[in-house]
Each structure stands twice: as structure tokens, then as C-alpha cells.
């Protein structure tokens, strides 16, 4: 998506105004933090907190699969960070273990769930953050480990999944953690996404009684990479709108 389209994208919802450009999202600064128990990896991240003087809502943003080159500098992750920062959110994007300057090695998903829990704990400790209004956003692999972490954490205000991997009914047996979803959750995906089948997600949510808390937002014609003109902006808009509305439900 080009700068002109980004600058034009806007959502007005519950008093929040989204209007973002191609520039940096707030005053990000490098941070590092550990995982629960202090025995895991030390993770690098980028944190931005609004200087509004009041406690801000916050969002932790989880990147796609490290084994496929995913990192906190993924363009979609950067778009999400910019949009949330310009909406008045504190933001934390970070590298999973073994990525960039984060220590450790790829944990096959289990280790990365611990990474997300560490990120949630870290952001809630920051001055200027409203620890009650902390949400998560994950893309692809980051959506799966983020949802696992959210169901364990028990205090996430809302969760937005982009391109959540679900290919068919065979995924139902591995998705029992869906029964622990107690927070509003949205699944945003393209109608041509071969990794995320919206019908499969419907089946999973229904199988575990989570359908009342789960919402599906299709993006017509988009694939897993949201490579079409304007598709990334549409996805970001859906996510911003959902998370901001969650705080006034």
C-alpha cells in the first residue's frame, strides 16, 4: 500500500480516530525483557508509549513465523504498530527467541507462547500503560502463539488474529484451547488465503463453544500476504476498529 492510501485510511469508533501515514509510529525505543520465571530467552523489542499524561491502552504485536523470515520488522507488523500508535495506544512489537538480537533458539511454538506471556507482563509494568486495557494482535504464526498465550494469561482485553493458520476440519482436535477464549476475538483473513480458511475457523470456534466471542472479517480477494492494492490497509482498519470497540463493550 502506498503512502497516499495509508494517509487516507481512517476509522472513527468510540471516540478514537485513526489516521496514519508512512512515518514512524510514535517515539519507539529499544527495550529488552525476559520470559516468565526468568529462565528463558531475553527478547528484544520496540516500545512506544504516548506522552498524554494519562494511562494509555496498550497492544502487543506478534510477528509471523521466524522459520520463514518473520520478525518484528515485517511490513504488516510495522503498519499495525504505526496505526495503533497514532490512535493513542502504547505499542510493543518484539522478536521471538532466536530472531534478531533475541537470545535462544526457535521453540516450535511452545517457547514462543512463553515469549508472548513475557511481553504481556513487561508491557503491563510500564509507566503510562493502563494494565487493564492490554490487547494482543498476531499475524500468521504470531496469531496462533498469541492466542495460546492469551487463553493462558486470562487478562487480555481483546485479541485480533490476522491470517490465523487453519486449513480444515483436521485442525479441530488441535484447537481445544479455543474453549478458554473469554475475551472478544476477531479473525481477519483474505478470502483467497490458503493458510487461513475462514470456514475452518468457524468450525473450530463452534466445536469449542467460542462462536459468540469470535468474529470473522473477510477481505475480499486477498491472500495470506495481503499483497493486493489497499489490502493491508483494510486489514489494519478492521483490527483497529475491533480493538478500540472492545474497550467500550
Q: What is the pTM of this model?
A: 0.89
Could you tell me the pLDDT band of residue 93, with boundaries at 50, 70 and 90?
very high
Give the per-residue pLDDT at 23.
Answer: 44
Give the per-residue pLDDT at 81.
Answer: 98
User: pLDDT digits over 177-206, tens only?
Assistant: 999 999 999 999 999 999 999 999 999 999
Query: What end-to-end distance do the CA atoms of the chain give, in Å?
Result: 31
Cell of 87: 490512535
Task: List b or e across 48-65, with b for residues whose CB sees 16 or more CB atoms inside 10 angstroms.
Answer: bbbeeeebbbbbbbbbbb
| 95: exposed, middle or buried (Cβ count in 10 Å: 0-12, 13-18, 19+) | buried
All domains of the chain in start order, with CATH: 3-246 (3.40.50.1820)
Could you tell me the pLDDT band of residue 3, with boundaries at 50, 70 and 90?
very low
Query: How many whole angstroms separate alpha carbon 143 and alpha carbon 168?
Result: 17
Give the per-residue pLDDT at 247.
Answer: 80
Q: What percent of the chain is predicted at pLDDT more than 70?
A: 88
Evaluate if residue 227 carries a pLDDT over 50.
yes
Amino acid at each position: 500500500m502506498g503512502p497516499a492510501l495509508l494517509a487516507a485510511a481512517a476509522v472513527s469508533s468510540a471516540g478514537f480516530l485513526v489516521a496514519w501515514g508512512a512515518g514512524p509510529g510514535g517515539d519507539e525505543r529499544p527495550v529488552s525483557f525476559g520470559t516468565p520465571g526468568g529462565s528463558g530467552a531475553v527478547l528484544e523489542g520496540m516500545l512506544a508509549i504516548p506522552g498524554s499524561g494519562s494511562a494509555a491502552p496498550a497492544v502487543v504485536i506478534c510477528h509471523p513465523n521466524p522459520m520463514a523470515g518473520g520478525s518484528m520488522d515485517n511490513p504488516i507488523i510495522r503498519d499495525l504498530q504505526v496505526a495503533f500508535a497514532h490512535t493513542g495506544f502504547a505499542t510493543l512489537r518484539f522478536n521471538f527467541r532466536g530472531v534478531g538480537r533475541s537470545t535462544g533458539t526457535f521453540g516450535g511454538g511452545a517457547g514462543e507462547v512463553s515469549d508472548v506471556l513475557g511481553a504481556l507482563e513487561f508491557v503491563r509494568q510500564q509507566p503510562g500503560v493502563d494494565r487493564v486495557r492490554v490487547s494482543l494482535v498476531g499475524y500468521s504464526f504470531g496469531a496462533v502463539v498469541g492466542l495460546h498465550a492469551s487463553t493462558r494469561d486470562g487478562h487480555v482485553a481483546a485479541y485480533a488474529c490476522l491470517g490465523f493458520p487453519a486449513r480444515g476440519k483436521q485442525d479441530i482436535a488441535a484447537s481445544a484451547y479455543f474453549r478458554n477464549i473469554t475475551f472478544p476475538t476477531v479473525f481477519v483473513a483474505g478470502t483467497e488465503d490458503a493458510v487461513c480458511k475462514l470456514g475452518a475457523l468457524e468450525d473450530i470456534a463452534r466445536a469449542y463453544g467460542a462462536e459468540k466471542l469470535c468474529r470473522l472479517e473477510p477481505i475480499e480477494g486477498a491472500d495470506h500476504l495481503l499483497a493486493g492494492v489497499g489490502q493491508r490497509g483494510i486489514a489494519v482498519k478492521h483490527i483497529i476498529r475491533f480493538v478500540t470497540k472492545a474497550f467500550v463493550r
